[in-house]
Chain A
Amino acid sequence: MSASNDSLSSPYSAALFTGLWKENPTFRLLIGLCPPLAVTTAVKPALTMGLSVIFVLVCSNIVVSLMRNLIKPHVRIIMFTVTIATFVTICDMFLKAYTPKMSEMLGAYVPLIIVNCLIIFRAEACASKSGMVISILDGIGMGTGFTLALCTLAGIRELLATGHVFDIQVMPKAFVPWLAFQMPVGAFVTLGLILGLITALTRKKGA
């Protein structure tokens, strides 16, 4: 269909890789910022959240891409949201059944994936315009980029707030934990500083 099969799979690899860095949803596009701030007190919940987002993103991209020729433009947003809500419900029930503790920890942030701008943005910008393969790859790429960003933030915060990452002691015993990094202030400041660092680095590269 709209994806060309002859060229050296370049649209495919492009769809897969732009989300990782060039258009990283959290660090470059600044969309869907609630989960990166809210669930990144430790790496485990961040990883769970990231995987849930990948699942929802890929599934909704598939469905949106399949029905892109059937829906009228003015009802598309509501159709996208209902699709996303369906998959989020599945994901929420799955988490509740298999990792009840984690589900309790993430709480309302799992259903809040529905209103994560990232997912509806990809539905609108990619899946509603391109074929299924491209949409799947795009979902995987963007989702992975999002997960990486989440884990980076969570890693920094968990390390500074508790001295260990993934429940493994990293810092020496003498390290005094910075509890502030477990609080909201840590989330905002860490993300702000990372963004500043990225701006500084990319600007030098460009110049």
Chain B
Amino acid sequence: MDTFVALLMGFLSVVLVNNFVFTKFLGTCPYLGVSGHLDKALGMGLAVTFVTALSGTLTWMVDAWVLTPLHLEITRYICYIVIIAGAVQLVEMYVRRFFPALYEAFGIFLPLISTNCVVLGICLFLDVWGTNNLLEAVVLSTGTGMGFTVAICIMAGIREELMLSDVPEALKGAPITLITAGILTMAFMGFAGMIK
């Protein structure tokens, strides 16, 4: 039971309290680039969630069971990035085969997931946080992806409304999006400190 509570707390922590987009600024590029439509944002978020979960787990396993015992920590970043690129390739092939419409909609953003900071970010932060069992790694990396999905969907919803509103000429586009994001982070700051 204790482990279950700990896992749940960890999960909520990465989704809400330590949301990667709002507190660590990771994944800001797709966050600003793709989040114009709610359905597209949801699709993107799910793709990222899948890749994060997959690569977070894989990198944790490689790190804990191969690199650390063999003292090859120096090659850590290179291994991570190769694993992520592989996972993204897998997702890309899967989506192209089974969801061609979604594949068209993503365009360039799908291959770009491999350079999405969220994905490499979770691999690195799993190490920083000192995650020491596989289950924790799986839960935390899935939660991070979901946190990204939450962030990108909220943003997409706001931007759909924003298109109809009267924004000062100079702030149209990226500037107003950034300011909106800033205000959103304040909302999410309300969660700060609830779970460490």
Contacts and interface: CB of A to CB of B under 8 A. Distances in A.
Is the pairing of A and B real? yes
Interface of A: 30-34, 37-38, 77-78, 81-82, 85-86, 88-89, 92-93, 107-108, 111-112, 114-115, 117, 120, 183-189, 191-193, 195-197, 199-200, 203
A188 B179 contact: yes
Interface string B114-136: 11110111001100100000000
Q: 6 shortest A-B CB distances, which residue pairs? A: A188-B182, A192-B178, A200-B170, A196-B175, A192-B179, A189-B182
A195 B112 CA distance: 24
5 contacts: A34-B27, A81-B85, A89-B74, A115-B117, A196-B168
A193 B179 contact: yes
Contacts, number: 127
A188 B78 contact: no
Contacts of B144: none
B109 to A, nearest CB: 12
B85 A184 contact: no
A179 to B, nearest CB: 12
Interface residues of B, number: 48
A91 to B, nearest CB: 10
A143 to B, nearest CB: 18
Nearest to A194: B175
B25 A184 contact: yes
Contacts of A186: 182
Contact of B176 (A34, A38, A192): A192
Interface stretch (B6-14, B62-70, B98-106, B183-191): B183-191
Residue of A93, A115, A195, A200 with most chain B CB atoms under a 10 A cut-off: A115
A141 to B, nearest CB: 21
A203 to B, nearest CB: 7
B85 A115 contact: no
B77 A117 contact: no
A37 B26 CA distance: 9
B22 interface: yes
Contacts of B111: 77
B124 A187 contact: no
Contacts of B78: 82, 85-86, 89
B32 interface: yes
A189 B178 CA distance: 6
A192 B175 contact: yes
B176 A78 contact: no
A154 B183 CA distance: 19
Residue of B25, B76, B111, B120 with most chain A CB atoms under a 10 A cut-off: B25
A88 B76 CA distance: 11
A185 B29 contact: no
Residue of B85, B170, B173 with most chain A CB atoms under a 10 A cut-off: B170
B171 A111 contact: no
B177 A192 contact: yes
B29 A199 contact: no
B97 to A, nearest CB: 18
B82 interface: yes
Nearest to A107: B128
A30 B32 CA distance: 9
Contacts of A120: 115
Given A37-B28, A77-B111, A183-B189, A111 B183 contact: no
Contact of B189 (A185, A188, A189, A195): A185
Contact of A185 (B115, B119, B121, B183): B183
